[in-house]
Amino acid sequence: MAASMRRFSRNFSNLSFKDLQYFSKGHYLSENIRKNVIRFSRTIICRQYKAPWLFMFPLVPTVEAIGFGWSKSKDLEAEKNSKFEGIISTADRLYESNKVLELYDYLVQYKDNGNAEVLWRLARATCDKGKFSRDKEQRKQCMFEACEYSKKALALDGNSSPCNKWYAILLDYTAEYEGTKVRILNSYKVKEHFLKAIKLNPKDATSIYSLGYWCFVFADLPWYQRKLASTLLATPPSSTYEEALEYFLLAENVEPNFYSMNLLMLGKTYDRLGNKDAAKEYLIKARDYPVQTTDDEQAHKEAIELLKNLGVREPPKITTSRG
């Protein structure tokens, strides 16, 4: 300890009174170190200012550690992290319960807290709120609001799989309102972030599905939109139904039956490829998927219509009577 304090003293030998005040302000010290620092500070200050050491004692409060021990800043950071963990836990519980509006109202109050994990969840919640709305204008506003949250989340953590995924999803959703031209111009950026999301988390079925959907959209592009794409970009985006199918099947393999829309898109892709039996199989699964979200509702309705075109009728609803 003595040797340590001698080194400590040499480092502080040229400190002024204000320097020592600034350094010592707020440090948590062990008892032995605290006594030595106080004794040393009294010596310096008394020597420079010829003041009684008794009056110097209040100038050495204890708030932080000198390179070791626990600091107030670390305590505050731990408290902040604990707070965000609580917010995230509550948000995830609401999401799993499919409480769309309650989740949005809960998370939006933390929109300025600068936490990527909270912000991408808020982006998702705002997107779901938009899907939930029957008002087209409100839906549009929600998508653009959600996109802004996703941008902030990505800026805070560019190596987060969910941040990349939700930025890509919402960039494409908002482009739908801005027209085919914007969607084509955004296409490579959207694909880039889906690929990064998958690279960061290869087990995220939703990211894999989303990339499959991207492939399906550009494989299914009408000829006039292809022509527009070729005038906008030297190498316009393109894909095939086979490539889309690979991603949809991979997503289903990673997490079976995870999403009604993946089942629907498997059915639609098989239909485009001429495999009617496989198309029917997945469309029936999409039709019979439990309807809990707006996406489930959409998948259910589309599957019924597509199955009709394939000659499959909707099974009669079972009614029960009492007495």
Residue 114, domain CATH: 1.25.40.10
What separation in angstroms does the CA of 105 have from each of 1, 101, 110, 190? Answer: 56, 6, 10, 28
State how far the Cα of 209 lies from the Cα of 199, in Å rounded to an integer: 14
Is residue 301 in some structural domain?
no
pLDDT of residue 5: 45
What separation in angstroms does the CA of 307 have from each of 133, 239, 275, 283? Answer: 27, 25, 13, 7
Q: Among the three residues 70, 94, 125, which one is the final residue of a domain in this structure?
A: 70
Is residue 239 in some structural domain?
no
Cβ neighbors of 123 (< 8 A, separation 6 or more) are 146, 147, 149, 150, 153, 166, 167, 170
Is residue 137 in some structural domain?
yes
pLDDT of residue 40: 45
pLDDT of residue 83: 79
Same domain membership, residue 171 and residue 105: yes
Same domain membership, residue 49 and residue 33: yes
Count the residues in the chain: 323
State how far the Cα of 103 lies from the Cα of 96, in Å rounded to an integer: 10
User: Could you tell me if 284 and 300 are in contact, meaning their C-beta atoms sit under 8 angstroms apart?
Assistant: no
Is residue 233 in some structural domain?
no
Return averaged pLDDT per consecutive 10 residues of the chain, 323 residues in all.
48 46 45 47 46 42 41 53 87 96 98 96 98 94 98 98 98 95 96 98 98 97 93 94 98 98 99 98 98 96 97 65 38
Is residue 254 in some structural domain?
no
Closest CA to 36 of 12, 62, 2: 2
Same domain membership, residue 156 and residue 129: yes
Q: What is the domain extent for residue 122?
A: 75-178
pLDDT of residue 61: 42
Is residue 249 in some structural domain?
no
Is residue 138 in some structural domain?
yes
Same domain membership, residue 56 and residue 17: yes
DSSP tag of 99 = -
Q: Among the three residues 70, 89, 107, which one is the final residue of a domain in this structure?
A: 70
End-to-end CA distance of the chain: 90
pTM strictly above 0.85: no
Cβ neighbors of 247 (< 8 A, separation 6 or more) are 208, 209, 211, 212, 215
Same domain membership, residue 82 and residue 97: yes
Number of domains in the chain: 2
Q: Among the three residues 123, 143, 178, which one is the final residue of a domain in this structure?
A: 178
Looking up tokens 């609401």 gives 94
Same domain membership, residue 100 and residue 122: yes
Same domain membership, residue 149 and residue 82: yes
pLDDT of residue 8: 43
Is residue 267 in some structural domain?
no
**In sequence order, which ranges of 97-160 are alpha helices (DSSP H)?**
100-108, 116-132, 136-156
